[in-house]
Amino acid sequence: MSASQTVFPGWMEIVDIAVHEETRQHAEEEALAALVDQYATMLYRVAYSVLRNPSDAEDAVQEAFLRVLRHRDTLGEIRDQRVWLIRIVWNIVLDRKRRAKSRPETDDVSELARVLPAKGLSAEQIASAAQHHAQVLSCVDQLPAREREVLMLSAFEELSSVEIASVLGVTESSVRSRLFRARNLMGELLNHSRSLR
């Protein structure tokens, strides 16, 4: 121990703690930045698949990372950070979707049909594809919430059924059964809409 530490042990301690705190904060910020680099795109896509609006999706991802920032002390305890983050953003987007029921869905669908890739297609084909996408999305919206959620998450190739189960907080077998039901319902709904045309 140095002479100054002997004379002012309490003061030196406070200085040590401040330095330690600063280092810790810096490490936490770096860890968070790494999470942003690694998962921001994935989370954005998850958010976009539900909200179907770029700025809303970005807001949702921002909110998710702000929540992570609030719980950064427990970041080291998370086993699967990817699933954990998806779960956070999933809950946020569902909540936002619930609250934004007043907005007409048709706006989202037309916007989405415009955004979806249509390379090498003629103008007529693009219009037809857009119509098909819009029809599919309206059918998806008619599905019961449980089935719809599983169907939407299963579209993400990065997510296994175990991970989907973890995001939704259910068992893997129930994910599979819900997916089965969702596909059957989707088939029925698409047939019905086609017969109406």
Partner 1 sequence: MNSPKQNAYAPNQPRDAASAEETLRLIARLPATEGLEERLKAGLKAAPKKGRVLAWADPSKSGGGWMRSTAVRAAAAAAIVCVVAGGGWSVYSRVQPAQMPKVIAMPQRVAAPGGFSSAGAMRTPQTLNGSVLAHPVIAMPKQDGDGKKLTAKTKKSRPAKPSPAGLRPMVTTAH
Given the rule CB under 8 A, which residues bind partner 1? Answer: 9-10, 13-14, 16-17, 20, 32-33, 36-37, 40-41, 44-45, 48-49, 52, 54, 58, 61-62, 65-66, 69-70, 112, 115-117, 132-133, 136-137, 139-140, 151-152, 154-161, 179-180, 182-184, 186-188, 190-191
State which residue, 25 or 103, has the beta carbon closest to partner 1: 25
Minimum Å gap between C-beta 104 and partner 1 is 19
State which residue, 32 or 75, has the beta carbon closest to partner 1: 32
Minimum Å gap between C-beta 48 and partner 1 is 6
Which tokens hold the place of 16? 């040590």
Judging by beta carbons within 10 Å of its beta carbon (0-12, 13-18, 19+), is residue 30 exposed, middle or buried? exposed
Minimum Å gap between C-beta 91 and partner 1 is 18
Which amino acid type is present at position 45?
Answer: R
DSSP assignment of 134-146:
HHHHHHHHHS-HH
- Euclidean distance between CA atoms 121 and 174, whole angstroms: 39
State which residue, 126 or 136, has the beta carbon closest to partner 1: 136
Which tokens hold the place of 94? 């569902």
State which residue, 91 or 161, has the beta carbon closest to partner 1: 161
Minimum Å gap between C-beta 15 and partner 1 is 11
Q: Are 177 and 135 in contact (CB under 8 A)?
A: no
State which residue, 126 or 179, has the beta carbon closest to partner 1: 179
**Which candidate, 149, 179, 183, places its Cα nearest to that of 167?**
149
Which residues are CB-contacts of 12 (< 8 A; sequence separation ≥ 6)? 4, 5
**Residue 126 in 3-state DSSP?**
helix
Minimum Å gap between C-beta 120 and partner 1 is 14
